[in-house]
Structures are given as C-alpha cells and as structure tokens.
Structure 1
Amino acid sequence: MTAFEAILADVQSEQIAASLEYSGSGVSDVCVYGSIEDGSTVFDVFYIVDRRVVDRNDLQGVDTSAIRQLALLRHGMNQLDRLVEACTQFSRPVPTELKLHYSGSNKSLDSVFEYEPRLSGDASLHPNDLVEAWRAEVQTELDAEAE
C-alpha cells in the first residue's frame, strides 16, 4: 500500500467509524457523502435501519442533539480536508464527490469517487440536493430488493 493509499484508507475509516459511533447500535449500514468543489466542502451521513433510509437527526434511541451532529459533521469535513491535502501532496486529482457505503452485516465498504464537476455551472444546484438524490436512490434500491 502506498502512502497515499494509506491516507485514503484512513480517511474513509475515520468517517465510517465516527458515523457508527454517532449512531449507536441498531444501524445496519452507513452511507457517507462528501463533496469537494469550488472551494466548498460538504460532509453528510445517513443510515439504513430496518431497510429504511434514516437521516442522522432522525435516529431513534441516540443523542441527536445539534452539538453531536455538528461534531460529527466537523470531523467528517476535517477528514475531507485531509484527503485534499493528500491529493495535493501526492499530485493526485481531488475528487469532487465521494460516496461511501459501509455494510455492517458483511463488514464491507463500497467507495465511489467522482472527479467531474457536479455543481459548477448550475447555480440552482446545492450539495444538499446531491445528498438528497443519493438518499432517494438508496431507498429506491432497498424498496426494489424487498419486492
């Protein structure tokens, strides 16, 4: 494993670990979203509980206070900053978008990195729109699997 790959693996591991710690027990999957584009960095997370997509603020049985949510989001954004620093240091392209899906049942991580601009050129599009679209896509997949 190269030094860059080690940093990339650690960034992903940190984001998933912090998201799992935040959620407590009962969560089967964690979905982490990151956007790095036009000087803006966005991090968000949602969960799969009983085959339903659940936002971080809607988890049951855990402290979802604004203070805890802000701490999670800051940690995730700090990890994205580490990723940007590593890409710069090792002359690698910086992804504009990342999607991590950790499955607790089989302890696997699927990572998708995009490098084409997603937000540039469309002033009406916000990173939250992309997070919402992914949430809807994941829920649609879950519904289709249940049929």
Structure 2
Amino acid sequence: MKEFEDKFSELQADMISICMEYVEDRADKVYVYASREEGVTASDFFYLINDKYVERHKVNDAWEKEKYDVSTKRQLMVLNIINDDVEQIEELCREHERDMPTEMKLIYDAKSGRFKAEYKYDLVHTNDDIKTASDIADEWFEEVKNNKL
C-alpha cells in the first residue's frame, strides 16, 4: 500500500518538477493536465506567473525582461517526460491492481508548497465525437483563467 502511494506521488512530483524547470522555478502556480484513455496518452501544462495565466508557449508574456526558451523542441521534451510518467503510473496501477485515472489535473502552488490533484476514472474524451484530450486541456485552462483557480 505504502509503496504504491509513494511511487504514485513521486511520479506526480516529477511532472510538476519538469514543468517548474521549464520556467526556471519562477512560477506562482503550475497546472498539469494528463490523460490516459484507451491506450492514448495526452498531456498539457500551463502556469500562473505574475498574476497572469499563461499557456506553455506564452510564458514570456508574463515577464517584461525574462525570456525563456519556449521552442517546440523544449515543449515536447517536457510533454514527453509527463507522458512517460503517466505511462509509469499506468504500469504501477496495473502492478498493484488499482484503477488507472483516465484524467489527472495537478495543481502546484509554488508559493505555499501546496499540491492538489483531481482524478477521473471514467472516459472523458474517448466517448466524445468532437473533443480531444487537447480540447479538454484547453477548456481547463480557460476555466482556471476565468475563475482564477
């Protein structure tokens, strides 16, 4: 039981860590979206920086002088690490005969050190004729931005 929880937490912490590294640990909050349905993994991440909600490719909009490398290559590197972590979580769940979340929304508040996670276990986008995991992630960004979550 403890081994499962520790490893699950460790993998989530790794997702947050790589996203913090992407902005050189200079975000107020990090939001990670991860989806695993029907064998397909998808992920996204965004931030609250200087009271501005910014998507990963627009982090430089939150700064006046700072400029980060937001190249597609660098974004894909982060997404690949998140996706690897999600696949390791799936393997962990299988080994411990646990249900694998189909959706994970992780929020890390860098100022307070608080971490919050929401999980879904039902199919979220697979049963939707129109929406993809990317659409769901975009909707979450808009929801967070509009409601200042």
* TM-score (normalizing by structure 2): 0.91
2:115 is paired with a residue whose SS is strand
CA distance in 1, matches of 2:127, 2:26: 40
1:120 is paired with a residue whose SS is coil
- The 5 A counterparts of 1:118-137 are 118-137=124-143
Number of the residue aligned with 2:95: 89
Number of the residue aligned with 1:46: 46
- Deviation larger for 99-108 or 112-121: 112-121
Number of the residue aligned with 1:24: 24
The residue identity in structure 2 corresponding to 1:114 is K
Q: Deviations over 1:7-26 (max 9, x none)?
A: 11111110000000011243
Deviation for aligned residue 1:133: 1.0
CA distance in 2, matches of 1:85, 1:121: 23
2:33–2:105: 8 Å Cα contact kept in structure 1? yes
- The 5 A counterparts of 1:59-74 are 59-60=59-60, 61-74=67-80
Structure 1 unmatched ranges of 5 or more: none
Task: Compute the RMSD of aligned alpha carbons.
Answer: 1.3
2:20–2:26: 8 Å Cα contact kept in structure 1? no
1:118 is paired with a residue whose SS is coil
Number of the residue aligned with 1:35: 35
Structure 2 unmatched ranges of 5 or more: 61-66
Q: Deviations over 1:76-95 (max 9, x none)?
A: 00000000000000000010
Number of the residue aligned with 2:83: 77
2:126–2:132: 8 Å Cα contact kept in structure 1? no
The alignment status of 1:103 with 2:116, answered yes or no, reads no
1:11 is paired with a residue whose SS is helix
* TM-score (normalizing by structure 1): 0.92
Question: What is the aligned-residue identity percentage?
Answer: 28
CA distance in 1, matches of 2:134, 2:8: 24
- Deviation larger for 14-23 or 113-122: 113-122
CA distance in 2, matches of 1:52, 1:43: 21
The residue identity in structure 2 corresponding to 1:123 is D
Q: Deviations over 1:57-107 (max 9, x none)?
A: 111111111111111010000000000000000000010000000001101
